[in-house]
Amino acid sequence: MEPLKVTAEQIGLHPGEEYEEDQLELDLGNLLAFDPEPVEAGGDIDGACLSLATKLTQTLISKLFKLPTEASDAGPLALLPPPSTLLPRAKPIPKPREPTKWEKFAKQKGIQKRKRSKLVFDEDNQEYRRRFGYKRAGDMSEVPIIEANKSNEGQEDPFAAQKKQKRERVKAQDKRQLENLKVTARAGGAAALPSTLRLAASLPEHGKGRPAKRKELHDDIKVASRQAGVATASMGKFDKRLKGEKAGERRLPGKQRKFAPVADPTGTERTIQTSMVDKMLRERADDVLDVGKAVGRMEAGRRETRRQEKQQHGDDGPSLIGTGMKKRGKMAGRSKHGRSADAPSSDRKGGSRGKVAGGASKKRMSQGSSLRKGRGGGGGSKRRGGKS
Amino acid sequence: MAGPQLPPQTKLVKPKTKRGKRALEKREPKLVEDTKKALLLHGGKVSQVVQDALGSINKLKQGECVRYTRRNDDARPFEAGGEARLEHFARKSDCSLFALANHSKKRPHNIVLGRFYNHQLLDMLEFGIEQHKSIAAFRAAASAVQVGNKPCMAFAGDGFTQVPELKLAKSLLIDFFRGQQVASVNLKGFKHVILVATLDRRLHLRQYAISLKRSGTKVPRVELEEMGPRLELSLRRVQAAAPDVESLAMKQPKTSKKKEKNVSTDLLEGKVARVYVPQQNLDTIALRKTKGSKRERRSSKLEEVAAAAAGVERPAKQARSS
């Protein structure tokens, strides 16, 4: 019997009709296909739509099936490229948070945040406890007895004092937070604030957010009345004095020049001038000590001396040691060359100039320092001392 | 640049509950945004046709929308100041798309589709509904489609490249119906396709259920069945986005790529990398040994003595071998 030949079409298997290459604009990231040719309806729009949709979907799906896939429990997942159709965003791109006063200072000073363990050993309870929060190590509020000593004897209740201190710390932190947020709001408007926080105008706080009473605002009223008093053409000179107003009170507070005494045995002039110099220095003290920089500078100096030392050693080495050592010296020289060849030349000279080198060379420096420690820096330091 | 003046007395307003805080955090601008939510609402008067069409859009949008059912006489986005009400609602419901339905003698069966940027009106298009057939009017082809299923989209017609209003319509409709943005998609999960064809400034919006049949190849054959809703829309008024606002809205975030260490580009050599090679110990390295490189016993002994004199340590292994 001859085998029966059956084509795929005969058993109802046939691939759908597809568009040619480059006839469509495809955006696989959005599962989107676009045919830019005019639609030919010819009276039957429904039929035209169906055939268009079928052809477009067939092309789109065949493209999607050719994408790289990833296996999953629910079946193969096609990895989509990012969408190519640009659409407007719903909201602006979030901006990075303005650094706080502390963060600015820490950056200037080169202080780096270090990771601390969540648990610490609590000596009192002889177990590991959380560093912060509920049931923390060394929680003073859980201590039943506070021993009297010289500092707290005869004073107020130490437990109350603790609570008070805590309240004050919280209040101080709230104040710092508010100040930081105010700076942020001034720089970038209300939109720059975190989404959960809002700054609102408020009356001066007396008690629990209660508006101030008239009696408490007495001074403000007084100032207002004095200002009103001088707000006339004669600056209040010819106006009637108010009830309870004293003679000189209405005069505008002008700037009064003060002269330091000519002969001054108490040294007031000296203190004034030194304080002014101090203030200026403080204002201009932008480059506060950067620890990282300083360490780098010192390392570079040490490296330079070590290099010089080595050179000296290499010059008179061969005569002393002989062939074996000569070989070793050569090797050391070669490897050193190999290591520093990739570094820029200025970097190599860094030590002599006392310049601070970049991150990559810093690493190398630290390696050097550890080597030096291993050999014992005694001889080296002696030599350095002799040289200087 | 001086920012806005703050009042002398300022206090910090924090959310009172954790739940409130979470709700606020949900709304804050994100680097990669969620699916845009649509606000569906009525203008002044509505007809049954637009009301049904709004219901159909609700179905198409699959729950990613907020529907208001009361009339809002003051929502007239094409009139000066008429968008204030819409923007207010958008802010309240945190929606960035809207579909406003109304019906008048001048503009019967009217529907306005538009979008917001940062809760402010960006652009919008007004359509008249010429024909509407809801999902219920078709056979139960829609039953296979589940909520949250990302639809395929197909556009056809030269108008989408030539007529500015239709270009906007294409962008708007993609924004409305594309669903969740995903990095991967299940190959078995293509359940429906939304077709938008344009002919003589009219949009024909159809939705079909997809069934994938065997084709004898790896790629299946697609068979479609109309599942509704079917909408025929004619173009009416348009308001495009202001160019400055549009450029702001179109700004895409930079996807932060981690900086490669020790790799730089050179003008002559292209990509240049620095490689750290640890110091090699040539004494212990496995090299091809030739007769000539072997040391004689006597000379090695001399060497050892010399080394001892210099006070240099030698590796123990080598000392034994000599």
The pLDDT tens digits of the residues spanning B161-172 come to 999 999 999 999
The pLDDT tens digits of the residues spanning B226-268 come to 998 999 999 999 999 999 999 999 998 887 677 778 888 887 8
Inter-chain residue contact A32 with B157, CB threshold 8 Å:
no
Q: What's the confidence (pLDDT) of residue A91? A: 94
Q: What is the mean pLDDT of residues B203-229?
A: 89
Per the prediction, chain B carries an average pLDDT of 86
Q: What's the confidence (pLDDT) of residue B6? A: 55
Inter-chain residue contact A182 with B156, CB threshold 8 Å:
no
More confident residue, A158 or B207: B207
Inter-chain residue contact B9 with A201, CB threshold 8 Å:
yes
Q: What's the confidence (pLDDT) of residue A147? A: 80
Q: What is the mean pLDDT of residues B36-60?
A: 93
Distance from CA of B163 to the nearest CA of A (A): 12
pLDDT band at B24 (very low <50, low <70, confident <90, very high): very high
Place domain B35-250 in its CATH homologous superfamily: Brix domain (3.40.50.10480)
The pLDDT tens digits of the residues spanning B272-315 come to 888 888 888 877 877 777 777 666 666 556 666 676 766 655 54
The pLDDT tens digits of the residues spanning A146-174 come to 887 777 676 778 888 889 999 999 999 99
Of B13, B152, B220, the CB nearest to A31: B152
How far apart CA A349 and CA A303 sit, in angstroms, is 10
Q: What's the confidence (pLDDT) of residue A89? A: 95
Q: Is the pLDDT of residue B58 over 70?
A: yes
More confident residue, B211 or A19: B211
How far apart CA A61 and CA B108 sit, in angstroms, is 39
Q: Where in chain B is the domain with CATH 3.40.50.10480?
A: 35-250
How far apart CA B156 and CA B194 sit, in angstroms, is 11
Contact, A87 vs B242, CB < 8 A? Answer: no
Which residue of chain A is at minimal alpha-carbon distance from B155? A34
Residue A368 CB contacts under 8 Å (≥ 6 apart), including other chains:
A299, A303, A306
Which residue of chain A is at minimal alpha-carbon distance from B248? A92
Which regions in chain A score pLDDT beneath 70? 1, 8-9, 11-12, 152, 154, 203-213, 216, 252-253, 286-289, 315-388
How far apart CA A146 and CA B317 sit, in angstroms, is 65
Q: What's the confidence (pLDDT) of residue B8? A: 58
Q: What is the mean pLDDT of residues B22-48?
A: 93
Of B36, B215, B252, the CB nearest to A15: B215
Query: What string of DSSP letters covers A5-20?
Result: P--TTTTT--PPP-PP
φ and ψ of B115, to 5 deg: -140, 160
Q: What's the confidence (pLDDT) of residue A330? A: 43
Of B3, B6, B154, the CB nearest to A53: B154
Distance from CA of B112 to the nearest CA of A (A): 18
Distance from CA of A137 to the nearest CA of B (A): 27
Alpha carbon distance, N-terminus to C-terminus of chain B: 79
How far apart CA B42 and CA B67 sit, in angstroms, is 9
In A, which residues are within 8 Å of B178 by CB distance?
Answer: 30-32
Q: What's the confidence (pLDDT) of residue B91? A: 93
How far apart CA A128 and CA A131 sit, in angstroms, is 9
Inter-chain residue contact A54 with B33, CB threshold 8 Å:
no
Q: What is the mean pLDDT of residues B204-217?
A: 89
Q: Is the pLDDT of residue B316 over 50?
A: no
Mutation test of the interface with chain B: which of A32, A60, A183, A217, choosing the one with the most B Cβ atoms within 10 A? A32
How far apart CA B45 and CA B103 sit, in angstroms, is 5
Least confident of A160-164, B37-41, B139-143: B139-143
